[in-house]
């Protein structure tokens, strides 16, 4: 497990100030969610580690992402390449493993932080949600999902509330991509359908 202060310093060197501020805000949101979901101290630290590492390759261009993936031995699919905004999750997960020796729980959560996946763990879901609703996000969809989670859904049991919030997030992401004429990664659709069926 990485020491969080040392990790924060290392990650600061890789990100511009905007992305670093977002990263710290995801970390803080994760800590708040960890408390709400009563995570153990160890899982809380791991979730903060995942937050600090989740966007570490976000600044790279598509060609650089592809090269990095090749160096790290990851095969990108055509679907990945068609949705380039999703590549940093795949390369970020590999980077967390190779450069930061992160454990599987951390790399797995980073790998699905953009598209989600079927049958996400609580750990995966908390990183995904924190990334979507951290308070520096001003995008309308983010504000709506934050309001749903912290205000409109509070009467529901916690797990149900989390799943319903994620479903809303996927719905809004998919609708936004359609509106902008961008491709939807099949993984995003699978994540949405899985939540629809299982919550
Ligand atoms: O990296 P962040 O900006 O913090 O957040 P993120 O990793 O959730 O990435 C958000 C971006 O990814 C946003 O531009 C929408 C895009 N995205 C999410 N799902 C898909 C997608 N883009 C495509 N083309 N297809 C998807 O399924
Ligand atoms: Fe991201
Ligand atoms: Fe992010």
Mean pLDDT of the chain: 97
HSE of 114, CA atoms in CB hemisphere, 13 A: 20
Nearest to 1 by CA among 72, 50, 68, 55: 50
Which ligand 1 atom is the nearest neighbour of the CA of 85?
12
- Nearest-CA residue for ligand 1 atom 4 is 131
Ligand 2 centroid distance, CA of 87 (Å):
9
Ligand 1 centroid distance, CA of 185 (Å):
9
Q: Give the global pTM.
A: 0.98
For residue 142, the ligand closest to its alpha carbon is 1
- Provide the residue ranges of all domains of the chain, joining segments of one domain with +: 2-197
Q: Decide whether any atom of ligand 1 lies within 6 Å of the 167 Cβ.
A: no
pLDDT computed for residue 199 by the predictor: 85
Ligand 2 centroid distance, CA of 57 (Å):
9
Residue spans of the chain under pLDDT 50: none
**Token pair belonging to 142:** 């983010």
Q: Decide whether any atom of ligand 1 lies within 6 Å of the 114 Cβ.
A: yes
The domain 2-197: what is its CATH number? Answer: 1.10.3210.10
H or E segment to which residue 134 belongs:
none
Ligand 3 centroid distance, CA of 71 (Å):
23
For residue 23, the ligand closest to its alpha carbon is 3
**CA-to-CA distance for 144 and 133, rounded, in angstroms?**
9
pLDDT computed for residue 56 by the predictor: 96
pLDDT computed for residue 1 by the predictor: 64
Quick check: 139 and 82 in contact, CB under 8 A? no
The string of DSSP codes covering 20-80 is: HHHHHHHHHHHHHHHHHTT--HHHHHHHHHHHHHTTTTTTS-HHHHHHHHHHTTPPPPHHH
Nearest to 153 by CA among 128, 138, 133: 133
Distances (CA, A) of 52 to 5, 72, 113: 10, 20, 13
**CA-to-CA distance for 189 and 168, rounded, in angstroms?**
13
pLDDT in tens, 53-85: 999 999 999 999 999 999 989 999 999 999 999
């Amino acid at each position: 497990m990485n020491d969080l202060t040392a990790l924060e310093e290392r990650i600061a060197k890789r990100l511009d100030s905007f992305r670093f501020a977002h990263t710290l805000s995801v970390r803080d949101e994760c800590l708040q969610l960890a408390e709400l979901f009563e995570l153990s101290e160890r899982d809380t630290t791991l979730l903060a580690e995942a937050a600090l590492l989740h966007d570490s390759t976000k600044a790279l261009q598509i060609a650089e992402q592809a090269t990095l993936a090749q160096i790290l031995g990851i095969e990108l699919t055509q679907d990945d390449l068609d949705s380039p905004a999703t590549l940093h999750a795949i390369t970020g997960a590999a980077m967390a493993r190779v450069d930061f020796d992160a454990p599987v729980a951390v790399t797995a959560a980073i790998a699905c932080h953009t598209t989600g996946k079927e049958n996400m763990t609580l750990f995966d879901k908390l990183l995904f949600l924190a990334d979507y609703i951290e308070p520096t996000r001003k995008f309308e969809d983010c504000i709506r999902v934050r309001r749903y989670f912290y205000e409109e859904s509070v009467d529901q049991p916690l797990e149900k509330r989390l799943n319903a919030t994620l479903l809303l997030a996927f719905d809004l992401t998919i609708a936004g991509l359609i509106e902008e004429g961008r491709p939807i990664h099949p993984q995003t659709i699978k994540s949405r359908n899985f939540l629809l069926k299982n919550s």
